[in-house]
Structure 1
Amino acid sequence: MYDIIKLLLYSDLGSDLSNWAMFAFRILLATELFRVHGMKKFRGSDGKPEVVPNPLGLPQFINNLVATLSDTVVPVLVILGVFTRMAVLPTIGITSVGYFVVHKNDSPEVRDVPFMYTICFLLLLATGPGSISLDNYIFNHFFNI
């Protein structure tokens, strides 16, 4: 059990510079996701909430819920570094579907946005948030025996 918790929460990138760089990366990435895509969920360009594409044919409520959470709640969790590796999974799913399904026939200029978000969140999944995070605090305070 300890190994699973360590895998999910522990993240030290080896040096202070690397950990501070990941801290800055997390904040900038999550802020941009929320600012550009999350805010559309509340009010689109015409003042109404964004209509979320549903290319997989999921129930509309589920589709909207996952898209809204991945663009509004996940960025907050990523900024704080709370359960980061688990939190990024919905966003990786949404951006991957955007790249491989929704924008598969679009130009590279359109496809690069979901591609870049997918790559960035995959990096967070692989590395974790670094030691400057609540994940690290939770692990060290409650589980580091």
Structure 2
Amino acid sequence: MKNTYSTNLNLQHVDLGLLIFRLAISALMLTHGIPKLIKFFGSEEIAFADPLGLGEITTFTLAVFAEFVCSVLVILGLGTRLAVLPLIGTMAVVALIVHVPDGFGRQELPLLYLTGWILLFFTGAGKYSLDWYFLSKKK
């Protein structure tokens, strides 16, 4: 009987897994970022949580930057390790400050996003990314 479990990593599978994960988590984050971007450029008054005391507009702008711009960068795999830093910060604030009074049910999704962004910070974008393309051209 063939052993189907191995602890050896297949790097092609890891790179494909990172691509799928990057695309999925970023696309899901865009479902939060796109409505904020539309609201940002709309005529509606912006009312947004300000847990760090930076001002509602500043906090909202940072959230739009993280959830939209940085998610697009992660999809492209461009500057991935830097792009996830604002996403990590945003999700940490949402999970550990904004939704603390609401209980774990409201903290669960931002904690899942936070975990995913931390994973991408440590792994990078993988082979199927613009990071890989530009870095391999330099060599």
Q: TM-score, normalised by structure 1?
A: 0.80
Whether the 8 Å CA contact 1:95–1:117 is kept in 2: the answer is yes
User: What's the CA shift for 1:126?
Assistant: 0.6
- Structure 2 distance, partners of 1:88, 1:19, is 18
1:113-124, aligned counterparts within 5 Å? 113-124=109-120
Report how many residues are paired.
128
Counterpart code for 2:77: G
- Structure 1 distance, partners of 2:102, 2:76, is 34
Give the one of 120, 131, 136 matched to 1:135. 131
Other-structure match for 2:105: 109
Other-structure match for 1:70: 66
Unaligned 5+ segments in structure 2 are: 1-8
User: What's the CA shift for 1:55?
Assistant: 0.4
1:22-101, aligned counterparts within 5 Å? 22-35=18-31, 37-41=32-36, 42-43=38-39, 48=44, 51-101=47-97
Q: TM-score, normalised by structure 2?
A: 0.84
Whether the 8 Å CA contact 1:85–1:124 is kept in 2: the answer is yes
User: What's the CA shift for 1:65?
Assistant: 1.7
Runs of 4+, deviation exceeding 2 Å = 47-52, 59-62
- Structure 1 distance, partners of 2:129, 2:46, is 31
- Asked which structure has the greater CA Rg, the reply is 2
Q: What RMSD over aligned residues (CA atoms) do the two structures have, in Å?
A: 2.1
Compare relative contact order (CA 8 Å, sep 6+) and give the higher one, 1 or 2.
Answer: 1
Whether the 8 Å CA contact 1:52–1:67 is kept in 2: the answer is no
User: What's the CA shift for 1:109?
Assistant: 1.2
Counterpart code for 1:38: G
- Structure 1 distance, partners of 2:66, 2:22, is 15
